[in-house]
Structure 1
């Protein structure tokens, strides 16, 4: 174990004693609303699953971002404790994802990847997974190779656009963006590194799930004529610009909805400001906001520990484009959007 790893382990130990430092949620959360009339056919729906997980649906086409429902206690997420998916918890709380065709992973940490093998084996059996080379190599023991797609060679890199990857239906496409993962605390990452070869078995402890190349994504839902119905920006980690920014795509289509990550935003400069200035979205969703260590999925959620929610919102609101707004979704709530990104209330 090298010095950096020892230092990260000591920092993790310090964080254990901060377990009671999560913040009581004081922001208004978005709940499901009752509609007197059915939603228009061109409505985009996004259901929040907690942490970095979302289900995105448009006209019967579904994709999802990596779900995290097991959510072990922080005490058991270190390098010396066996860690595995809580299959009962997943079976109880995961909505129907049998029609999901793409599962997007921003980075390989356990709070994004731990549940993915079981979800793809038992719930999202049609889905293909998209992530970094490291994510692909960690998934090899659990999923057939033809369902695994490594994005490092096709991701956008600063001003250079990446390649579009299409779902099996042809009605949704994604572009991976070279991004960044903010440090966890005091300028340090607790889990880092890459996996250089295919694993023979899934990682057995939290530190075995390596970060790899962090990615953000542009997601386009398409009409029958291949025109873009909805464009979404997604990231599951705060990023240091210019990494994570959407390149010029030269298609005259802007971002309608952007999903941000408050976690560790204060460990880097200019977040969320840089992403907001870059995307100019109509609506911003705050993902990865709740304190997920051993949280009760059916209970009241608290804001991430060591994260100043008021500062994040103040900085977000200071740079919101005119006419834009933001929403902090309750766990498992579904948000509905008109073309252009207007939240339907």
Structure 2
């Protein structure tokens, strides 16, 4: 495999290509390598991805592409790599089993394997299978050495040396059994939580609405649970959420809202709602679409202990000056390259297989 700087340059060029696709507009730029070959084709793939998965709205697809274009800069890639000692003497084949809950959800694992100098064998989810093969072709054009090193399969995974697999808690048990004889990272279900102290500004809570509603709350970095102090006035929270009221205009989201509301009302659960979001007191972390669970806390120290004890279930803690490693309001869906899912350093794992 070519040297690591060539690989970094290739992904930086992919970042440049993706910078043409933003939420503001899709704009073909001059000076983007291989643009005549790929620009129109990628626009077409976005259309197909939308038709294939009704959660993949144009807004969500473009949000994902914009996030990746910002992450894939030469300086970001260099900074990320410099924090890790990547010395791969014998390149291996790493299988990646990807989820399909949000667009390009497995891209960080894909990037990590290739930038490390290994080959990748990708098994995609049927929900998200249109974008990555196309972007892989772009990478192969920019850096020919990738041609031998990227394979997609819909068959049973065979001939691989290590695996990174993402699924829910049930599939994770299956993965753990199935891949027990290979070096592996098995990612299970995780959710994100927000700690509300009551001192939040209106702006903080508006930003929190992005953590709640981006990707319809389907990502593991989406906030699905609130911790609030006793006597908290939820009007403040609902006022912050109001900026995303148009969410209810999406038919699939609206159907989930109506269905879950009916189930809760029939079960006579207490819930508060504002026409597009329900909140329900519940100890679970994983809430259904259009619903956020909440729990009251008595004192901050007990809550910090609980969050620490449950860290295997939590992806992000959104808060303001509450706990170490917290994520600021509005930032859960903008991870850096060095913000690893589950806190497992993928590059370190890949350098040791």
TM-score (norm: length of structure 1):
0.30
> Looking at both structures, which has the greater relative contact order when contacts are Cα pairs under 8 Å and sequence separation is at least 6?
1
Q: Which has the larger radius of gyration?
A: 2
TM-score (norm: length of structure 2):
0.29
Higher helix share: 2
